[in-house]
Amino acid sequence: MRREWEMASDRIAAVVERVRREGWCAVRGVIPPTEVAVVYRAVMEVAEREWEQHSVNGRLGIGGLIAKTQAMVPYVLDERLLGTAEALFGPKVRISMTHGIVTDPGYERTNWHGDWPFSLGNPYQIPAPYAADQPVKITTLWALTPFNATTGGTLIVPGSHTAGNNPGGDIGYDIFEPVASEMQPELEPGDVLVIDSRTWHTNGTNRSDGQRVGMAVRYAAWWYNVHQITPGLAEFERMAAETGDRASDVVPISREIYDALPEKAKPLFRHIVIGQRVLPDTVAEPAWG
Ligand SMILES: O=C(O)CCC(=O)C(=O)O
C-alpha cells in the first residue's frame, strides 16, 4: 500500500510537471467549499474599506493583503502549492506578494503581461529575451467567486512561459490583442490557478452581473530580491523619493501578526516583518562570500 507521503509527492509532481511543461495548472479545492465563504468575507471587508479610495474603473487590487487579513494563511500552506514552489525553487521559498482582486460587472480584459520581474517596462526587471529557462516565481490566482468566461476569469497563453518575452516587452505584439491559443480555465470558489509568472496572462471581461473576487499569492525563490517593493527598506524609499510613487504591493506586517501565524507560515512572511533590527556581527569571519 502506498504511504501518504508518497501520494502527496505524486500530487505535487503532477502540478510541477504541468507548470514546467505548459506554464499553468488548476489546483482544485485548496480552500474547501465549506470554508471558502470565510475567506471571501474577509477579503470583501477589506475591499469595502478600500474601494472608494483605491479602485480604478471598476477594479480594486488590494496590495499587502496579508497585513489586512490573515484568513488565507492556512491555505497558502497547501502541499500542492507550497510543494510546487519548493520543488521549483528549493526549500527556502517565500511569498513575495499577496493581493485581493475585485472586478465589477463590465470591467474589460486588460493587457497581456508576465508578472514582475518579467513585467517589462519596470526598471527592476529581467531583460528580455530571458536567457535561461529557470522559473523564479509562481503566481497563484485564487477564485473566491467563480472564474469563467462569463465572470472574466484569468486568461492565459499556455506555453508562453518559455517564449523568453511577453507583449509588455518590445516584440511588436499588442498587449491587448487576443492570442489564438489563449485559454480561460474554469475555477470554482476555492480552486487556484498556478502559473509560472512568465506565462502571459490577463483578466477576462466580466460579463456577469456580479463582482468577480479573487486573490493573487506569489511564491518566489529564496534569492529573489523584494527589497525594492518593501516600504521602509532603503531601496524602496530611495526609489519612492526619486519617482514620487509608493507602490503598495507589499505592506509590512507587525510583530503581533507575525507571531500569530502558524509556525509553518512564518518563514514565508518573515522578510516583511516591520521593526527588524540589523544586529551587530555575530561571526568573526564572513561566512557567505
Ligand atoms: O484578474 C486576473 O484574473 C488576473 C490578475 C493578474 O493579471 C495579476 O494579478 O497579475
Q: Whose CA is nearest to atom 2 of ligand 1?
A: 203
Does residue 197 sit within a domain?
Answer: yes
Domain count, the chain: 1
Determine contact, residues 126/244, Cβ cutoff 8 Å: no
Domain at 11, CATH number = 2.60.120.620
Banded model confidence at residue 201, pLDDT cuts 50, 70, 90: very high
Q: Give the whole-angstrom CA distance, residue 248 versus residue 246.
A: 6
Does residue 184 sit within a domain?
Answer: yes
Does residue 238 sit within a domain?
Answer: yes
Banded model confidence at residue 90, pLDDT cuts 50, 70, 90: very high
Determine contact, residues 150/209, Cβ cutoff 8 Å: no
* Domain around 43: 4-272
What pLDDT digit, counting tens, does each position of 271-282 carry?
A: 999 876 655 555
Does residue 283 sit within a domain?
Answer: no
Q: Whose CA is nearest to atom 9 of ligand 1?
A: 216
Does residue 288 sit within a domain?
Answer: no
Ligand 1 site, CB within 6 A: 101, 115, 139, 141, 154, 201-203, 216
- Of 24, 57, 101, 151, best ligand 1 pocket probe by most atoms within 8 Å of the beta carbon: 101
Question: Measured in angstroms, how far is the CA atom of residue 12 from the centroid of ligand 1?
Answer: 23
What pLDDT digit, counting tens, does each position of 122-157 carry?
A: 888 888 988 768 899 999 999 999 999 999 999 999
Question: Measured in angstroms, how far is the CA atom of residue 199 from the centroid of ligand 1?
Answer: 11
- Beta strand pairing call for 201-202 and 192-196: unpaired
Instruction: Report the chain's mean pLDDT, rounded to a whole number.
Output: 93
Does residue 83 sit within a domain?
Answer: yes
Does residue 285 sit within a domain?
Answer: no
Q: Whose CA is nearest to atom 6 of ligand 1?
A: 202
Question: Measured in angstroms, how far is the CA atom of residue 148 from the centroid of ligand 1?
Answer: 13
Question: Measured in angstroms, how far is the CA atom of residue 216 from the centroid of ligand 1?
Answer: 7
- Residues sharing a CB contact under 8 Å with residue 239, sequence separation 6 or more, in sequence order: 228, 245
Start-to-end CA distance of the chain, whole Å, equals 47
Does residue 172 sit within a domain?
Answer: yes
